[in-house]
Amino acid sequence: MTSKLYLIKDIARFSGLSIYTVKYYLKLGLIKETGRSPETNFRYFDDSTIQRLNRIRNYRKEKKSLRKIKDLL
């Protein structure tokens, strides 16, 4: 089964995070892109990224640092 592909704006909306925050997590290596469009260079993400962002959000609610979260993931 293939999972759906999403743009950064979609995963931000689904996870309730800002695009800025999602890009920051990407830069820190907390999430990774699934692929890129050769024509537009847009980053693509899948369902597992949304699940991962939800886990990160839950850890943040527990007041865990981003460094600690990266270790947990």
Catalogue all structural domains in the chain, each as residue range(s) with its CATH number. Answer: 8-72 (1.10.1660.10)
Read off the pLDDT of residues 9-53 as tens digits, 9 standing for 90 and up. 999 999 999 999 999 999 999 999 999 999 999 999 999 999 999
SS3 (DSSP) at 53: helix
pLDDT score recorded for residue 28: 96
d(CA 65, CA 51): 19
Residue 20 near residue 63, CB atoms below 8 Å: no
pLDDT score recorded for residue 56: 96
Residue 65 identity (one-letter amino acid): S
What is the value of pTM for the model shown? 0.87
d(CA 36, CA 22): 16
